[in-house]
A and B are shown apart, each in its own frame.
Chain A
């Protein structure tokens, strides 16, 4: 039977090439093998889906732009990923020209299921080359594939590649010049074909897709598209009517239209698989044997705890020396810059604003790199899917996906790598939900705050209990928030767990290093700039306006022989009190008084937006004790002795607990918000995150302080 779309060849030189394939098909490694080190990584407009583009040198000397489409199982626009893959292929994605060629990455060791998407691509109207990936694994697991036979069946070039090693990359590039469209290789019952023909005509008449893609689009509209599908809006009433009529006819014949395509296409895939599969060598895959161990009822959870414990240690403990070095280097660079620039506003801006701001960004890199090292290795090996399988039942209880476990666990160290780790989750809704609760998990930046306040106000025997309570509160609130947000924000969107468990594979060191460096770069460039900008704004607010009077008095006192260091601390305390941040702190005092905080705490809270632990050093400045950390005895004494204007103590154990609760619940972290903005590609989600956590923190502290007062703990 003749194909409905006329086969066409690729243009002499392909300029724009798209890479499509299933998740776990090794698409990323093929992308890496085809492109150089330089690539652009961003997001598709308005969505959380990552957009990757690389430059590919073709054998004819020309260069092409290679777009890596999101990994999908289908092109039916049922998920955000699928809609984007389809939009790119149809030339509907803003900023991306319609591809001249699409490379369909097919996992040779999982041929039948992978051919489902590949045959859909044949119907997209874009010339196709099939990259038959992982032929080495297919050979080893005893299911070798005959590329020539597959090429004959599909009618488009099929090139054997091994993405991990780069084998076949040059042949694949050369084959792009021979790319062809094939059209639909399968038929449906006559009645359906007739109805489809009428929809196809209406699609052509309305011109909603380019020539060659009408058949695939007509099939999608007839069998699956929902009323609100954008194609109906552009296609007009005529299209709507033809589809309605066609569906009615199908229904009359008792044909299940939703299942139609999948049933027919899998029949095709099965027959293609049978024809292209060389006789089995009879070897059994080792994957199943590994799985017997790793997902064993008893051993599975034990290994899970060991693996997760290692990751946790890495992010929580092993990263610390590197972070200390970065902080040391930042301080050293600051001193060096001061040595060159001397004293003055410019030096203060560069050192306390710029260099410190860069330090604020770089300090996250050790955790990000370590976490992504483990995540990439475990994902490439295939263990992450098993980990989600093992733990899903527990996570499901609060409405989270099994894959949310690693991001949430990492958030005990820092929400920034935790939020970046949600990238391993393919479902947009599950991913957003995880991002929205991860910052409630008590991160390591909160620890100095707890240590200072507990050390100053909680009696010796109860200090451990107080610390434990803060962690318990944080976990309880994170899980509760997940439960509530799922019902409030994502109501009606039923989540599925459906998760492929790929065969175990050895990771490639080169790919792992590339991914880790790529993540580090995205964070530094795309979230880092926001963090740097906010750092400078915060510096400005704490620095200006300067009081000449205070500076002069300080000079006089030093001239009079007082200890210069003490005078400097005294001066800095006065300066910050009358800076914008000091004024803001006083301004919000009426609002935070019911929580048991005075304006000095207000200054600390505002400054701590840079990073939570900044509360400690800011209180050190406000209380004129100079540079202070959480174990500074001087600062503890100052806090205990601090008085309000009416002579009452400014801090009590109750207000200290209230402040800790505030820090457990509030999103006092510009880096978290910057990274959520980067990952969701929107301002809405970071704003929502900040708002709901701030409200939660306020109410939590209010309940603790007022409740405590009512119970008589003053």
Chain B
């Protein structure tokens, strides 16, 4: 569990990034850099092949009307994935 007290105050004020460790918690327009991809091997392999490799920059473009799935941009193309899948993609703030 993340202890809010441990996060520097400045980080909390600067936006959602501080508490956000995976792709599903980014808002449209926000960026992240892929750190690692988790999940069951088949899904993991598929995400990697589609370009979610460590270091790749990802931008959340928009949410579907019911907030799921989400559309992201990486390697110059657009792909949509469900929130459950996006949660497997760990990101670092850019």
Chain A residues proximal to chain B, CB less than 8 Å: 73-74, 76, 78, 110-113, 116, 143, 224, 258-259, 262-263, 266, 269-270, 288, 291, 295, 297-298, 300-301, 385, 389-390, 392-394, 396, 402, 494, 496-503
- A300 to B63 Cα, complex, angstroms: 12
Task: List the 10 closest A-B pairs by CB distance, nearest first.
Answer: A262-B48, A393-B66, A501-B78, A497-B82, A74-B49, A266-B53, A112-B75, A393-B68, A110-B77, A389-B80
Q: Report the Cα distance A537→B80, complex, angstroms.
A: 49
CB-based contact A258/B41 at 8 Å: yes
- On B, residues with C-beta under 8 Å from A are 36-37, 40-51, 53-54, 56, 61-62, 64-69, 71, 75-82, 85
Rounded to whole Å, the gap between the CB of A381 and the closest CB of chain B is 15
Does A113 lie within 8 Å of B45, measured CB to CB? Answer: no
Q: Could you list some 21 contacts between A and B, CB below 8 A?
A: A78-B42, A112-B75, A116-B49, A224-B45, A262-B48, A262-B53, A263-B48, A263-B53, A266-B53, A266-B56, A269-B75, A291-B61, A300-B65, A392-B68, A393-B69, A496-B81, A497-B81, A500-B77, A501-B71, A501-B80, A502-B77
CB distance from A205 to the nearest CB of B (A): 27
In the complex, A78 Cα to B50 Cα: how many Å? 13
Q: Provide the residues of chain B in CB contact with A270, threshold 8 Å.
A: 75
- Which residues from chain B contact A494 at a C-beta distance below 8 Å? 40, 42-43
Once the chains bind, are A498 and B44 in contact (CB under 8 Å)? Answer: no
- A-B contacts besides A390-B64, A499-B80, 5 pairs, CB < 8 Å: A113-B77, A258-B48, A263-B53, A392-B68, A498-B79
Known: A301-B65, A393-B68. A113 touches B53 (CB 8 A): no
CB contacts (< 8 Å) of B37 on chain A: these are 259
A113-B80 in contact (CB<8A): no
* B60–chain A nearest beta-carbon distance, Å: 13
Instruction: Determine whether the beta carbon of A78 is less than 8 Å from that of B75.
Output: no
Residues B44 and A258 in contact, CB atoms below 8 Å apart:
yes
CA–CA, A503 to B79, complex, Å?
Answer: 11
Chain A nearest CB from B43 CB (Å) reads 6
B45 / chain A contacts, CB cutoff of 8 Å: 76, 78, 224, 258, 262
> How far is A494 from B85 in the complex, measured between Cα atoms in Å?
11
Looking across the interface, which residue of chain B has its beta carbon closest to that of A75?
B49
Chain B residue with minimal CB distance to A391?
Answer: B64
C-alpha gap A288/B78 in the complex (Å): 10
How far, in whole Å, are A394 and B66 apart by their CA atoms in the complex? 8
Pairwise interchain contact A392-B69, C-beta atoms closer than 8 A: yes
Whether the pair B85, A496 counts as a contact (CB closer than 8 A) is: yes
Whether A297 and B65, one on each chain, are in contact in the complex, defined by CB atoms closer than 8 angstroms, is: yes
Contact present for A498 and B81 (CB under 8 Å): yes
B46 smallest CB distance to A (angstroms) = 6
Q: B54 — which chain A residues lie within 8 A by C-beta?
A: 259, 263
Shortest distance in angstroms between A110's beta carbon and chain B's nearest beta carbon?
5
B-chain residues with CB within 8 Å of residue A500 when the two chains form the complex: 50, 77-79
| CA A390 to CA B66, docked complex, whole Å | 8
Q: Are A396 and B82 in contact (CB under 8 A)?
A: yes
**Beta-carbon nearest neighbor of A114 in chain B:** B77
A498 touches B71 (CB 8 A): no
With A110-B77, A266-B53, A497-B85 as given contacts, are A389 and B48 in contact (CB-CB < 8 Å)?
Answer: no
Nearest residue (CB) in B for A24 is B77
Task: Please give me the residue from chain B that is nearest to A82 by CB atom.
Answer: B49
In the complex, residue of chain A having the shortest beta-carbon distance to the beta carbon of B49: A74
A residues less than 8 Å from B68 (CB atoms): 392-393, 396
Task: Give CA–CA (A288, B43) in the complex, Å.
Answer: 27
Which residues of B have CB within 8 Å of A73? 46, 49-50
Are A113 and B50 closer than 8 Å at their CB atoms?
Answer: yes
Which residues from chain A contact B80 at a C-beta distance below 8 Å?
Answer: 385, 389, 392, 497-499, 501
Chain A residues within 8 Å of B69, by CB: 389, 392-393, 402, 497, 499
Contacts of A300 in B (CB 8 A): 65
What separation, in Å, do the CA atoms of A500 and B76 have in the docked complex? 12
> When chains A and B are docked, how far (Å) is the Cα of A396 from the Cα of B82?
10
A331 to B56 CA separation, bound complex (whole angstroms): 64
Whether the pair B82, A295 counts as a contact (CB closer than 8 A) is no
Contact flag A76-B42 (CB < 8 Å), given A110-B77, A392-B68, A497-B80: no
**Given the complex of chains A and B, what is the CA–CA distance between A647 and B79 in angstroms?**
68
Q: Is the CB of A389 within 8 A of B50?
A: no
**B64 A393 Cβ-Cβ under 8 A:** yes
**In the docked arrangement, what's the CA distance between A113 and B69, Å?**
21
Q: Indicate which residue in A291, A392, A502, A503 contacts B82 across the interface (CB closer than 8 Å).
A: A392
